[in-house]
Structure 1
Amino acid sequence: MKPTLLILHGALGDQQQMAPLQRLLSENFETYNINFPGHGGRKMETDNLSIAHLRDDVANFLINNGLSKINIFGYSMGGYVALELARKHPESVNKIFTLGTKLNWTPEIAAKEIRLLNPDKIEEKIPAFANVLKKRHAPLDWKWVMSQTAELMTNLGNGTSIKLEDFKNINHSTTIGIGDQDNMVSIEESKQVADMLPNGTLSIFKNTEHPFEKVDLSYLSKMICQFMAD
């Protein structure tokens, strides 16, 4: 029987974005790939997006599907949710592999990231990307999804993020993956958290930028399989 693996997408992403990786991983795992609330056209049952809300949504998904001790791959925000799930519901998680997850949050860092989430400017300067987001999140308004993401980041910067000391209490075997050309997440913050985790390791992906579409999925799937099998 194949081990189970849950795939969690990043902010502004959806399960379809993760589908190519899921196909590769399905050779070795029984895979699950979900949309977070407010993403991929999935409606939200709360007024605001938060890491706690996403964490609880994943926890409920596992309960509803009779899953426990599941392996998780989380890209960007998905990795953050995986770590928060392991912190709050340790019995639900086996191993975690993250890639491109922003782990250091302050008001200044949040403000810097939010400046990039201007729907009007994106529509004007990067219309192709705006069109991708429009199709990805329909029938929801992609601009609303982006504003919710900005609010989530603001809240992380203002203190709802996982405290550095709290990472010491996440005992799960965890790989913190980071691309050496990631312009959103630093190797330094990734290493700091990997060192804080009792069973954490740092994995640096060469010639890799932050956008998921620029990640070598063949190599990523190989690294995930190798880690989960150890």
Structure 2
Amino acid sequence: MKPTLLLLHGALGSPATLEPLAELLAADFTVKTFAFAGHGGREVHPETFALPQFAQEVLAFLQAHETGPAHVFGYSMGGYAALLAARQEPARFAGITTLGTKLDWSPESAAAETRFLDPEKMQAKVPAFAEQLRQRHAPADWTAVVRATASLMTAAGAQPPLAAADFAALHVPVQVLMGDGDLTPERGDASRQLAEQLPQMQYAVLPNTPHPIERVNIPDLANRIRTFAWAHS
């Protein structure tokens, strides 16, 4: 029987953004995924659109579908939700791989992250991306998803769900991957310092890799996830 691998999408994303990765891993894992509240067509509600709520969704999914520890991959926001969930119930996780996950939250870094999250500006400057978001989140209002994401980041900056002590107490194998071309502000050194608090951490910088999942070398990412999961099965 193949082990389970749960794939978690990032902010403004949906399970569809992870389909190319899922296809490459399907031969070795029973690949599962779901859309976080307010994503992929799910209606946006401010009270459920928050990192602690997303972590609860991860735990609820594992409780409903798995009897033993599962392997998890989280892209960007999905990686943070996985770590937050594992801090609460580590026994449900065989191992976690994150890619492009911002670990260091502060009011300043949140402000830097959210300055581009303006639907009107997005429509004017990147209309193709705005249309992509409209299609990805239909029938829900994509502009509501963008505004809720900005609120989520502001809340995380004001009160980070995971502190340094939480990382140090997280006894789950974690592979932290960052792209060398990831230009998201303040992602690098501060996030690595927090990652180094993890007791069972493996860190790697992916060459020629920006933040968008669509521009990541998916075969290389799949191989890294596969190798890490096999090492912790």
TM-score, structure 2 normalization: 0.95
2:81 is aligned with 1:84:
no
Which whole-Å deviations, capped at 9, do the CAs of 1:169-207 have from their partners, x for residues lacking one?
Answer: 111110110001101163313321221000011111001
- In structure 2, C-alpha distance between the alignment counterparts of 1:43 and 1:91, rounded to whole Å: 31
2:1 is aligned with 1:21:
no
**Paired position in structure 1 for 2:228:** 227
- In structure 2, C-alpha distance between the alignment counterparts of 1:160 and 1:67, rounded to whole Å: 30
Residue type matched to 1:33 in 2? T
SS in 1 for 2:159: helix
2:191 is aligned with 1:190:
yes
Change (3 A) 1:108 1:86: same
For structure 1, which segment, 69-78 or 157-166, has the greater mean C-alpha deviation from structure 2 after superposition? 157-166
Which whole-Å deviations, capped at 9, do the CAs of 1:70-110 have from their partners, x for residues lacking one?
Answer: 11000000000010010011121110000000011110110
Residue type matched to 1:221 in 2? A
- Deviation >4 Å, runs of 4+: none
Change (3 A) 1:44 1:129: closer
Any conservation in 2 of the 1:22–1:33 contact (CA below 8 Å)?
no
Change (3 A) 1:106 1:85: same
- In structure 2, C-alpha distance between the alignment counterparts of 1:86 and 1:63, rounded to whole Å: 13
| RMSD between aligned residues | 1.3
Change (3 A) 1:229 1:121: same
SS in 2 for 1:146: helix
Cα offset for 1:43?
Answer: 2.8
**Paired position in structure 2 for 1:207:** 208
> How many positions carry a matched residue from both structures?
230
Q: Runs of 5+ in structure 2 lacking a partner?
A: none
Residue type matched to 1:38 in 2? G
**Paired position in structure 1 for 2:115:** 115
- In structure 1, C-alpha distance between the alignment counterparts of 2:45 and 2:92, rounded to whole Å: 23
